[in-house]
Structure 1
Amino acid sequence: MKASQPASARQLFGNRVVQAIMVSTLFLQIGIWVRNIAILLFVKAMTNDDAFAVSLISVAEFAPIFIFSFIGGTFADRWRPKRTMVWCDLLSAVSILGVLFAMTYGSWKAVFFATLVSSVLSQFSQPAGMKLFKAHVPEHLVQTGMSMYQTLFAVFMIFGPVVGTFVYQSYGIETAIGAMGVAFVLSAASLAFLPRDRKDEAGKTKSHLKEDIKAGFRYVGSSIVLSKLGGGFVAAGLGLGLIQPMGIFLLTERLGRAETDLQWFLLVNGVAMIIGGMLAMSFSAKVSPAKLLAFGMVVDSLSMIAMGISTNYGITLGLQFLSGFVLPCIQIGINTMILQNTEEAFIGRVNGILNPLFMGSMVVTMMLSGVLKNAITLVPLYVVAGVLFLAGVAVLAPLFKLKGGMQPETEQKAG
């Protein structure tokens, strides 16, 4: 096994599709983090720290996931993936020119449009990238490839805010938005090195869109793996939403620390994700994605409960590290299971169904978390969040006996 791992790593790094997608993701992450931080700081400055105006940034970023995720996934299944990704990046870059023009001759509020457009287009581009991964990466390398992908995201969780803050504070909002446009163009250029789309990758465009949508829901419903994943997504989203806005209160009320200490929590979490992602890359081939996902969710749930109970800053910081350490296991397990258990023709629609389940349930409990905190206090809130994660593991438990790969009954029913 040890002898085969370096060969597998060389095979993965030498894969033309993996190389192009990773370089594209690198440029996209630079653009996204410059966008997120620069627009956040700019809007705060222009509105004198108006919380409602700042919240609109999140609305512009996350609302398209609900509205366009399934639509984007359906069209990604109908269109050629390479062409879809390149055009999405180029259209994002063109929209940046429109934003700069509007800011020069119109209103500064056009900055919200930059977030909205790139977020909408990502709902078409992301599932197209998953389709390419499915088509061109050998199945035994998928889980390792997902580990690389998630580790890159973890790196930017640490360095992204630094880059975004530097660009905005040094050069201003116009340069920051211009840098976004350049990043999108470079991403599109790197995707040019992808293999040509196969002629049959245009999808069965003769079918009606409505029929494609119905087929997507039937496909997920007919698959044991995907339907159980959907249930796990809902449970995890409900739990995460409860505590997502509560970190600042955990610091100030439970631990008696200053608000500024939140940056150390985020830093510890990001470092832990990088370490966890690199370790997961080394042993992911030995562990089934279902067990990897369950391990991450169990440890995360226990960490949540312990963080809510703890009154010691050092212990809570250690638990935050542990939570970030296992997060790549959850992300890698989810993406690998989707790729291994979904036909290439349905990748976009499966993503478009499962992602809103998670995001929607998370937003529901995020809206209720403040009211619940006042009603039952902080400790029970964290305990309930941990229990919901454990409930998600219980939903996924039947999948532990499956060895991965597409289930025969799924292919038959989908057909």
Structure 2
Amino acid sequence: MRLLLGRAISALATALIPTTLTLAVLRTTGSAEALGVVLACELIPLLLLLPVGGVLADRFRPERVALVADLVRGLSQAAIGIELLMGVGRVLDLAVLSAVAGVAIAFGMPAVPRLVAAVVPGPERLRVNSRIGVATSTSSVLAPALSGGVVLVAGPGWAALLTAALFACSALTLGGVRTAKQAETARNTFAKDLAEGWREVRTRPWFLKSVLGHGVWHFMAGLFLTLGPLTAVKHLGGEASWVLIVQCGTVGLVAGVFLVPRLPVRRPLVVVQVAAALYLLPLVALAVSANVVVIAAAYFVAMFGLGLLSPLWETVVAEEIPEGALGRVRAFDQLISFASRPFGLAVAAPLAGLVGMTGLLLTGAVAVAVANLIAISSVKPPATGSPGERPPAKLRR
């Protein structure tokens, strides 16, 4: 319960940051360029330091890493809030504090899968990961409205302080989770630890192919989330059309994470990769200029697939990767995801202008399907047994 509560609070705090920071920078400077600089200052250290965070997550007890990471994020948000309340809000200061938050995220993210694996028994992990997914999905829906409301009523400084308070609560909650003390082992150099983590990745073709497929998924999501609203506003009836599409996707996501522990899934990795391939549907719908109802329905199905994918993937990886290497392996996974989507967001408009939106989206639809379905070729068939045999506690890939 403590783990679930801490993850829910942390997810809400994390989801509050983009809206708060965006409104704060625009209200203070009115400059889109300044906003881009501030957001990039969080992303760049996150990408650079995720491998370091993976090594630390495997060296130290995960609850302590999560505690320190959330405390640092809370302090950075508190500093932003105080500066905004004082009427300062310098872009340089916001950029530096955002970079500090990015460093904390890089250190904290790989520790979370290790924390779940350490405290949740194998048969319960899918259910717990599903509940964490519901909390995260709900937070992504509630956070923009909550942050926007606080900014409108009291100002962005108070929204940042609210975020800081939530991170403090999350740190104390997750920091109170107790895991077994790690056995003393010979301490390797950082480079050797990193190399051993990469060895865990490359010796598992199913993992490497799946992660690369998910990277293509995230890249195409960046394209869709850039070209989709542009198309909706210009050709599908305005902003309300895009809101409808996004909300249908949100409903699909929540439905997926809610239903996945109740489904008779015997081949989790096959379901994961097919679910990722479903993202071809909204890409094709947008490419052929379908009406808003068709695009919304396609996006619902795609995000329902994501809802299935996330808890199953978390569970499969925790079952198949040694706990002592889980932080480094998941850091590689997270690095691919975090690098791919911003890249897709950045190049969507230039690529569409160069090759045309229809060709770009159709090519992307094929790519996301092929890249994810090809990973199924690395899935081992289940062991033979009677048709009614109950699957073992260790999930089959």
Do they fold alike, i.e. is TM over 0.5? yes
Partner of 2:260: 280
Partner of 2:386: none
Partner of 2:139: 156
Q: 1:270 to 1:81 in 2, by over 3 A?
A: same
Question: How far has the Cα of 1:215 moved from its partner?
Answer: 0.9
Partner of 1:43: 25
Aligned length: 384
Q: List alignment gaps of at least 5 residues for structure 2.
A: 383-391
Partner of 1:306: 285
Q: Pick from 102, 108, 111: which aligns with 1:125?
A: 108
Q: 1:402 to 1:231 in 2, by over 3 A?
A: farther
1:179-237 deviation digits (Å, cap 9, x = unpaired): 11211111122124412x43326x74622111101111112111223222233233323
Q: Pick from 192, 215, 220: which aligns with 2:201?
A: 220
For residues 358 and 334 of structure 1, the distance between their equivalents in structure 2, rounded to whole angstroms, comes to 13
Partner of 1:68: 49
Question: How far has the Cα of 1:406 moved from its partner?
Answer: 9.2
1:329-372 deviation digits (Å, cap 9, x = unpaired): 22223322321221001111101112222333334443332222
Q: Pick from 336, 356, 366: which aligns with 2:315?
A: 336
For residues 326 and 369 of structure 2, the distance between their equivalents in structure 1, rounded to whole angstroms, comes to 27
2:11 corresponds to which letter in structure 1? Q
Partner of 1:350: 329
Residues 241 and 292, structure 2, Cα contact 8 Å, conserved in 1: no
Q: How do 1:365-404 residues align onto structure 2 when only pairs under 5 Å count?
A: 365-403=344-382
Q: 1:98 to 1:205 in 2, by over 3 A?
A: farther
Q: How do 1:193-212 residues align onto structure 2 when only pairs under 5 Å count?
A: 193-195=176-178, 197-200=179-182, 204=185, 206-212=187-193
Q: How do 1:17-36 residues align onto structure 2 when only pairs under 5 Å count?
A: 19-36=1-18
For residues 247 and 46 of structure 2, the distance between their equivalents in structure 1, rounded to whole angstroms, comes to 27
SS in 1 for 2:111: helix
1:38-77 deviation digits (Å, cap 9, x = unpaired): 22112122222x2222223431343233111111111111
Q: 1:218 to 1:406 in 2, by over 3 A?
A: farther
Residues 68 and 123, structure 1, Cα contact 8 Å, conserved in 2: yes
Q: 1:327 to 1:68 in 2, by over 3 A?
A: same
TM-score normalised over the length of structure 1: 0.84
Residues 277 and 373, structure 2, Cα contact 8 Å, conserved in 1: no
Q: 1:226 to 1:321 in 2, by over 3 A?
A: closer
Q: 1:158 to 1:279 in 2, by over 3 A?
A: same
Q: 1:402 to 1:120 in 2, by over 3 A?
A: farther
Q: How do 1:83-94 residues align onto structure 2 when only pairs under 5 Å count?
A: 83-94=64-75
Partner of 1:142: 125
For residues 288 and 318 of structure 2, the distance between their equivalents in structure 1, rounded to whole angstroms, comes to 38
Q: Pick from 265, 277, 300: which aligns with 1:321?
A: 300
Residues 210 and 372, structure 2, Cα contact 8 Å, conserved in 1: no
Question: How far has the Cα of 1:118 moved from its partner?
Answer: 2.7
SS in 1 for 2:182: helix
Question: How far has the Cα of 1:132 moved from its partner?
Answer: 1.9
Q: 1:310 to 1:205 in 2, by over 3 A?
A: farther
For residues 43 and 162 of structure 2, the distance between their equivalents in structure 1, rounded to whole angstroms, comes to 22
Of Structure 1 and Structure 2, the greater helix share is in 1
1:350 corresponds to which letter in structure 2? V
Which shows bigger deviation, 101-110 or 328-337? Answer: 101-110
Residues 276 and 326, structure 1, Cα contact 8 Å, conserved in 2: yes
1:77-105 deviation digits (Å, cap 9, x = unpaired): 11111111112222222333433454438
Residues 21 and 129, structure 1, Cα contact 8 Å, conserved in 2: no
For residues 137 and 61 of structure 1, the distance between their equivalents in structure 2, rounded to whole angstroms, comes to 31
SS in 2 for 1:384: helix
Partner of 1:411: none
Q: How do 1:251-262 residues align onto structure 2 when only pairs under 5 Å count?
A: 251-253=232-234, 255-262=235-242
1:183 maps to 2:162: no
Q: Pick from 37, 53, 64: which aligns with 1:56?
A: 37
Q: Pick from 252, 268, 275: which aligns with 2:248?
A: 268
For residues 359 and 44 of structure 1, the distance between their equivalents in structure 2, rounded to whole angstroms, comes to 24
Residues 8 and 132, structure 2, Cα contact 8 Å, conserved in 1: no
Q: 1:107 to 1:231 in 2, by over 3 A?
A: closer
1:215-268 deviation digits (Å, cap 9, x = unpaired): 111121112232222332333234333323111222134x34213532222222
Which shows bigger deviation, 262-271 or 67-76? Answer: 262-271
Which shows bigger deviation, 355-364 or 379-388? Answer: 355-364
Residues 238 and 388, structure 1, Cα contact 8 Å, conserved in 2: no
Q: 1:229 to 1:298 in 2, by over 3 A?
A: closer
Q: Pick from 153, 157, 164: which aligns with 1:174?
A: 157
1:295-344 deviation digits (Å, cap 9, x = unpaired): 31232223321332143122222222222222112222332232122100
Residues 78 and 205, structure 1, Cα contact 8 Å, conserved in 2: no
